[in-house]
Chains A and B, each alone.
Chain A
Amino acid sequence: MSTQTLSRARWVRGCILRLLLCLSAALVCALLAGLTGYILLRGLPHVTWQLLFTQSSVLRGTRGILPNLLNTLYVVLAALALVLPLGVGAAIYLTEYAASPRLVRAVEFAAETLAGIPSIIYGLAGMLLFCQLLGLGTSLLAGSLTLAVMTLPIVIRTTQESLKSVPQSYREGALGLGSGKWHMIRTVVLPPAMDGIVTGCILSAGRVVGESAALLFTAGMGMSLNRFFASWENFAHSSGATLTVALYVYAKERADFDTAFAIAALLMLFTLALNFTAKWAGRRLRRRKGERNE
């Protein structure tokens, strides 16, 4: 009798536990699907040609986010152009040249710490350093510089990891044939590490697209069209809001939730696309290596 009640109590406990676990899983899925669905449903109907290809005009009473789209593009391109040579160079130095393991550990630790700092702190530091000390003012250039600093740890770490995964025998083989150090790195170390470098690069682009806090103080909230390719002046001296910052401006300051949701939907799609691209590029490069392995 007692054993029967015990096993029954156990059975009930098991059922409750399973139910709770199911519930939490369902809750997570529902939250995710609900949030995504809500944003897409509210945002996508307002994504129109006019929104995408004009700038907002108070006189005509129209909404357009072309300036913000372009600003995002500029900031991504400029930040990547700055961070790639710096980050990949630093990673190459750390894995291939640095003689002191203590220095390497110190830099790795610093990079990991930097990656965990809230982005608004980068914004604050960027404002003080680039906008004020270097006199760039609130500008796209200052924003790009700040984001380059922010994504530097990501690029360094991913590049370092992929360089470390290159077999030591490649390096020895090349040096044994009388190749110089840089020639060895260029010919047998970087090509097999390329997939990791490209993935890190795309991931940091995703980080840049989604960043707002670090840009509020540095790139500012300018909503008019910047012609980056037409004029260096525009890029270096005028403020410009990226999509995420524009989202904040439309929702918080203009109470224009239709536009804000349209931007949110676009941002979500961009981030999704970037993540897929990173996966696809990584797989493709690995597969090319794999084919060579066959």
Chain B
Amino acid sequence: MSEPALLSVRNLELWYAPAVQALRGVNIDLPERQVTALIGPSGCGKSTFLKTLDRMCDLVPGVRVSGSVRYRGKEIYDPCVDVTWLRKQIGMVFQKPTPFPMSIYDNVAYGPRTHGVRDRPRLDAVVERSLRGAAIWDEVKDRLKKSALALSGGQQQRLCIARALAVEPDVLLMDEATSALDPISTSKIEELIAALKQRYTIVIVTHNMQQATRISDKCAFFLAGELIEFGDTTQLFSLPRDKRTEDYITGRFG
């Protein structure tokens, strides 16, 4: 691996219940400031894997995780790790847009306020920068005080990205962030991802293989909880090393 690994995962296993194993011995090194796409058929564990990276999987009752996930060399499953700090560093954008029932401004300011920013001019600056960063500023700048729930689905999703950017994360996790959106909104968010990778490390889960080839630098193929293949996107899609990867990307199953 030439690039330095930002997130380094070793022997990661996860059970939802004693008999339900969702991840089996995953080893992967996610490079900094690149877009990594996670692909695979439904239920293969790619979303679960994403959730282990910022410990959102802790919210599922009865879940058990073993193995190691290191973020910048720090073990995140160490009991002394502050989960709020971790989730500030590693932001998450969900499949369905999930704005809070508040104004657009308050949605974006939610994260900074949570982490103690009260100063109004500073908040204003963060909100504008984040909304510009998520390419939605021009659409909402005149109605920042209006409800976020009045926005369209695509706008809501970009708002959620802005909300995630506002806490100045290091990594951005996106769980099928475009699957609930129309093609135009999807292409806007894809452009956005391409722009964001200058500053952030991005990991996206996608069902859409064209999307993976369009926007990702690295690609990881999951099947039945195992990481089958991980490599450069161009290499993985043109010369897959594993037969199962080839079957999947040529549409033989999934």
- A interface residues with partner B (beta carbon < 8 Å): 99, 101, 167, 169-170, 172-180, 183, 187-188, 191-192, 289, 291-294
Contacts and interface: CB of A to CB of B under 8 A. Distances in A.
A179 B111 CA distance: 7
Contacts of B160: 173
Given A169-B96, A292-B147, A293-B149, A177 B101 contact: no
B130 to A, nearest CB: 12
A61 B114 CA distance: 65
Contacts of A101: 61
Contacts of A294: 147, 150
B167 A178 contact: yes
A177 B88 contact: yes
A294 B163 CA distance: 21
Contact of B164 (A177, A188, A293): A177
A37 B87 CA distance: 64
Contact of B94 (A173, A187, A291): A173
Contacts of A187: 110, 114
A227 to B, nearest CB: 44
Q: Using C-beta atoms within 8 Å of the partner chain, give the interface range for chain B.
A: 20 to 34
A279 B101 CA distance: 22
Contacts of A180: 84, 114
B61 A177 contact: no
A289 B149 CA distance: 10
Contact of A99 (B54, B61, B92, B101): B61
Interface of B: 54, 56, 59, 61, 83-88, 91-92, 94, 96, 98-102, 110-111, 114-115, 147, 149-150, 160, 163-164, 167
Contacts, number: 76
- DSSP majority for the A interface? helix
A293 B101 contact: yes
Contacts of A293: 101, 147, 149-150
Nearest to A293: B149
Contacts of B92: 176
A180 B115 CA distance: 10
A175 B101 contact: no
A169 B147 contact: no
Given A173-B94, A293-B149, A178 B111 contact: yes
B100 A188 contact: yes
A176 B54 contact: yes
B59 A177 contact: no
A99 B111 CA distance: 26
A170 B59 CA distance: 13
A175 B147 CA distance: 21
Nearest to A294: B150
A162 to B, nearest CB: 14
A192 to B, nearest CB: 6
A178 B85 contact: yes
B85 A174 contact: no
